[in-house]
A and B are shown apart, each in its own frame.
Chain A
Amino acid sequence: AQKVTQAQTEISVVEKEDVTLDCVYETRDTTYYLFWYKQPPSGELVFLIRRNSFDEQNEISGRYSWNFQKSTSSFNFTITASQVVDSAVYFCALSEAGGRGSTLGRLYFGRGTQLTVWP
């Protein structure tokens, strides 16, 4: 079965601190995709990154970085030098790449982590 676990419900940091959001997943598929989304208070879901299961290279985009470790089934997200605008709920999600007909591509979401960055 597919499952995404975000054990941290809420995290509070002070501006300029680094913060890591944890994501652990379960799947029986050998090929899958992992995603991170940001949901600010306005409610829209902002796509941040997609990672293929066969590409374990870490990725950096500005202050954001992602650490994908297949051995531990984790896909953690780090924000460096956090800012108040980073305050949001962050969701980790999993999508299978296998041929399952019309449900191919559906996302399995974690419960989300509420990040609050204080000035």
Chain B
Amino acid sequence: SAVISQKPSRDICQRGTSLTIQCQVDSQVTMMFWYRQQPGQSLTLIATANQGSEATYESGFVIDKFPISRPNLTFSTLTVSNMSPEDSSIYLCSVRTSGREQFFGPGTRLTVL
């Protein structure tokens, strides 16, 4: 398995500001992903965080709004830029292990006022 931590666990932000979420894994993993879960909804993939290259974004998500860094095989950050109330969600980091299992971090609960 993989142990994943995320910081912050929750935050309340003002519209127009930006928040950077950190994801740390206790072992090296090839695949890291960022998901969003809007209130009462399922999970939607934002992007795949690629080590050493630009992230791969899903349709509807752009780098200017959700810049992602992946400097090594155990760490990634997601920034939510120029936030609006519609960005209020849980943001989850996920990793895929060599055993093809996928684990999630505890999530970051973001509220934008």
Contacts and interface: CB of A to CB of B under 8 A. Distances in A.
Interface in A17-74: 33, 35, 37, 43-45, 47, 50, 52
A101 B42 CA distance: 24
Interface string B12-40: 00000000000000000001010100000
B72 to A, nearest CB: 16
A26 B42 CA distance: 17
Given A43-B109, A102-B50, A103-B48, A109 B42 contact: yes
A45 B42 CA distance: 11
A110 B43 CA distance: 8
B43 A107 contact: yes
B7 interface: no
Report whether over half of chain A's contact residues are helix, strand or loop; otherwise say mixed: mixed
Report whether over half of chain B's contact residues are helix, strand or loop; otherwise say mixed: strand
A50 B56 CA distance: 25
Interface string A100-117: 011111110111100000
A8 to B, nearest CB: 14
A40 to B, nearest CB: 11
Given A45-B107, A95-B102, A101-B56, 10 more contacts: A43-B109, A45-B92, A91-B42, A91-B43, A105-B96, A105-B102, A106-B45, A110-B42, A111-B41, A112-B42
Interface of A: 33, 35, 37, 43-45, 47, 50, 52, 91, 95, 97, 101-107, 109-112
Interface of B: 1, 31, 33, 35, 41-45, 48, 50, 56, 90, 92, 94, 96, 100-107, 109
